[in-house]
Amino acid sequence: MKIIGLEETDSTNNYAKINIETLADRTVIHAKRQTSGRGRLNRKWIDLGEGNLFMSVVLKPSDTFNEIYPNITQYLSVVLCKVLETYGLKPQIKWPNDVLIDGKKIAGILSETVMQGGKLLGLIVGIGVNLNATQNDVNAIPDKIVTSLNLEGVNVDVESFRTSLVNEFFNNYDQFLENGFSSIKEDYINRNCFLNKELKVQIFNNMEHGMAKGVNDNGALILQTEDNNESVLTIGDIL
Ligand code: BT5
């Protein structure tokens, strides 16, 4: 595993994407500052200052796409929970991969697949974790209730947190490649905050309502709708 440390970049995912052909499997790109961090669907990831984590992992598990690869975001959400638990916190996962502390968002995960024709050039798994922020700065983030590790009473420097996260990520990564979501299903379900609740899920411009009945072996959310049908969702945002 190799770590590339950058003082500043627009987005560690962009850096990884632009350089994907020359970056080796299991390379970690870590930037102290990120000027144009991205979330899903063109949303922004806000840089709350130098003491926070912005990193992307480049993975090249094979030359062809495998349907388990998108589950890497759920895999990383479990990895992050395990690391946060070592600091005495009780993180929870909101499907598919939001990690929350007491309902407040502490991290964001964005994974991207880079293809060239039918060939997989690599997967890029980006993560931002709020480690050191002020209450005013987190309050200024639109649409979400946000927290950071220091605001939860835990003080940690970004390098040691990154080391713990990367080590935990690679501890069970080979098992994940073999068995996909099944390898983390129990750990994922044990930390969920959405099952057996009435949910509204936004899927692009559509809205689904229903009772969250389960998560299947592919990591999809099973909703029981009012007309007693089942919806199996692979993407979406729980509102
Ligand atoms: C995410 O998107 O949560 C994925 C964010 C991934 C960021 C990392 S940082 C390293 C790597 N390089 C990148 O360019 N990206 C990755 P999404 O689920 O779409 O949520 C985005 C929403 O989270 C925003 O619309 C805000 O409401 C909220 N948000 C923005 N910045 C935040 C922050 N620092 N902490 C908590 N919430 C934030």
What does the pLDDT look like over 33-47, one tens digit per residue? 999 999 998 899 999
Report whether pLDDT(169) > 90: yes
Please work out whether the CB of residue 144 comes within 6 Å of at least one atom of ligand 1: yes
Of 30, 45, 151, best ligand 1 pocket probe by most atoms within 8 Å of the beta carbon: 45
- Once rounded to an integer, what is the mean pLDDT over residues 58-76? 97
Handedness of CA 83, 218, 235, 207 (dihedral sign): negative
The rounded distance, in Å, linking the Cα atoms of 178 and 169 is 15
The per-residue pLDDT of the chain, averaged, comes to 97
- Hey, where are the domains in the chain? 2-190, 198-238
Tokens 């349907």 label which residue? Answer: 67
Model confidence at 8, in pLDDT bands (50, 70, 90)?
very high
Q: Which of 70, 75, 81 is nearest to 111 (CA)?
A: 70
DSSP lists the bridge partners of residue 202 as 207, 237
Cα dist from 237 to 30, 82, 119, 208, 222, whole Å: 27, 23, 29, 10, 14
Q: Indicate the class that CATH gives domain 2-190.
A: alpha beta
What does the pLDDT look like over 101-124, one tens digit per residue? 999 999 999 999 999 999 999 999
Q: Whose CA is nearest to atom 9 of ligand 1?
A: 128
Please work out whether the CB of residue 141 comes within 6 Å of at least one atom of ligand 1: yes
What does the pLDDT look like over 219-231, one tens digit per residue? 999 999 988 899 9
Please work out whether the CB of residue 146 comes within 6 Å of at least one atom of ligand 1: yes
Q: Which of 16, 33, 230 is nearest to 128 (CA)?
A: 33
Q: Indicate the class that CATH gives domain 198-238.
A: mainly beta
